[in-house]
Amino acid sequence: MPPDKAGIIPRLYPSTGSPVNQTPAVNTLRPSACPGLLRIVQALDGGICRIKLAGGSISAAQARAVADAAQAYAGGVIEATNRANLQIRGIGAEEHALIALLLAAGLGPSNAAGDDVRNLMLSPSAGIDEQMLFDTRPLADQILASLQNVPRFHELSAKFAVQLDGGEALAMLEHHHDLWLSAFVRNGETLLAFGLAGCPGLDAPLGAVRLEQGHALVTAVLEAFLDVATPEQTRMRHLVVDKVLSRLSLPLLCANGFKRPASGASLHMGTYPQPQKNQFYVAAVAPLGRLDSTMLKGAAQLADDYGDGTLRFTPWQGVLLPYVEKPGVVTERLAQLGLLCSADQPLARMTACTGSSGCAKALADTKADAAQLAALHTDHDVHLSGCPRSCAAAHIAPVTLLAVSPGHYDLYFREAAQPGFGRLHARNLSIEAAGALLRARPRSNTDD
């Protein structure tokens, strides 16, 4: 993906969030190849705008604004990302108007310089999960406020990311983060274990703090990282973590007893009860992570008619509607809109990068090939990547198809002892050959 064009961003606004009618100076935003709401990055299929959602949540009115922006000023393609954000693709010459529409809907950061660093992932069921140990949203609000409003934190990479996990049954536990915090109970007290350059589902914590110190821990870690990192060391994995830990002045507790239970299989699809009486959440997946304006507006209308007027996007590239009293009706309507509501649907187990239709680096049309593979009815979780960067997968899938030419892929099976995608099983397979091989292989052999 080529670097963004300097000076294309049309509007800045002060900390009040009110737009001002002027074009910012060329050097207002730092150079980056990562799209944001205020930075349109060019791809093969047009501009990309990434809308970072607080806790993955968006109001129905804001969802309609995204749909309107995609329809009026872009190609109509809306992507649900694996960090629970939204992207609009195919943006044309009227990018100024698109950004202005999104800002007017309240989807921007509290100040322009904070747009890049709003990278805090929660469980999609924060505050409504029967197994949660605490409601993470108030602490998340504090962390997001600091990320956006403390000038020094704007030096962080646009990829630097934090995860806050409240012990929910529905949680993405395999995405690596620069800093993760995960709740656990010891001697009747809920504590926050934390780790660096890893994830709570796979890595041992480095220590723990009491809940009331969660915000202080995050800010202390970020300050320490910026103190010791060189300009080339943009992520926590680039450092020796002891250099960061040695600079933390707040008292740390031992994290003995921490073990994060695995997230339930397929909880990101279906209907589940909330702790609130007679309330349910309904979750579905966007096919290959993509929606159009009709799908997004339809989901927004369901949120208004049957929920609390909000939607939550998930790191499984899907959407969750909370506070639903009639889940059966909502599920049926979501399916009618084209969303996937059951793990029994083969396409619900496929992920794919943008592919050659939108990315110059991709060697194959991964979206079309994934749809073809799903039609062959394999029951494996498969990621199709157009190049070795594997952009659409934040962790290694049980099965990876890596494109080598149009319609042809090398096939890998994930193995804990193997780096990268895992063990190379076969080379230069057509989609038909890959489907036949996977149908002949039990799913349990690839899901370690």
Band (41; pLDDT cuts 50, 70, 90): very high
Q: What pLDDT digit, counting tens, does each position of 410-429 carry? A: 999 999 888 899 999 999 99
Confidence of residue 10 (pLDDT cuts 50, 70, 90): very low
* Model pLDDT, residue 428: 98
Please state the rounded mean pLDDT for residues 227-237.
96
pLDDT at 28: 56
Among 3.40.50.720, 3.30.413.10, 3.40.1350.10, 3.40.30.10, name the CATH number for the domain at 348-445. 3.30.413.10
Which amino acid, residue 260? R
Distance (Å, rounded) from C-alpha 182 to C-alpha 180?
7
The torsion angle over the Cα atoms of residues 338, 344, 348 and 349, rounded to 10 degrees, is -170
At the top level of CATH, the class of 270-342 is alpha beta
Residue 261: its pLDDT value, please? Answer: 86
- Do the Cβ atoms of 371 and 311 come closer than 8 Å? no
What tens digit of pLDDT does each residue of 108-142 get?
999 999 999 999 999 999 999 999 999 999 999 99
DSSP at 398? S
- Kind plus residue range of the DSSP H or E element containing 98: helix 95-104
Tokens of 385: 């990547």
For residues 22-49, average pLDDT: 77
Phi, psi of 74 (to 5 degrees): -145, -170
Q: The CATH number of 1-111 is which of 1.25.10, 3.20.14, 3.30.70, 3.30.300?
A: 3.30.70
pLDDT at 8 over 60: no
> Percent of the chain scored above 90 by pLDDT?
85
- The answer to whether domain 270-342 and domain 348-445 are alike in fold is no
Instruction: Compute the average pLDDT of residues 148-162.
Output: 96
Q: Above 50 in pLDDT, residue 23?
A: no
Please answer whether residues 173 and 199 qualify as being in contact, where contact means their C-beta atoms are separated by less than 8 angstroms: yes
Task: Write out pLDDT tens, residues 306-348.
Answer: 999 999 999 999 999 999 999 999 999 999 999 999 989 999 9
Q: What one-character DSSP code corresponds to residue 109?
A: -
Beta carbons of 211 and 194 less than 8 angstroms apart: no
Closest CA to 69 of 322, 402, 293: 293
Domain limits of the chain? 1-111, 133-166+173-245, 270-342, 348-445
Distance from CA of residue 361 to its chain's centroid? Answer: 22
Residue 67 sits at the vertex; the CA angle it makes with 63 and 71, to the nearest 5 degrees, is: 170
- In single-letter form, the type of residue at position 114 comes to G
The mean pLDDT value for 19-34 works out to 51
Contacting residues for 114 by C-beta, under 8 A, at least 6 apart? 147, 148, 149, 153, 154
Give the mean pLDDT of 163-192: 96
Mean pLDDT of 349-377: 95
Contacts of 419 (CB under 8 A, 6+ apart): none
Whether the CB-CB separation of 207 and 193 falls below 8 Å is answered with yes
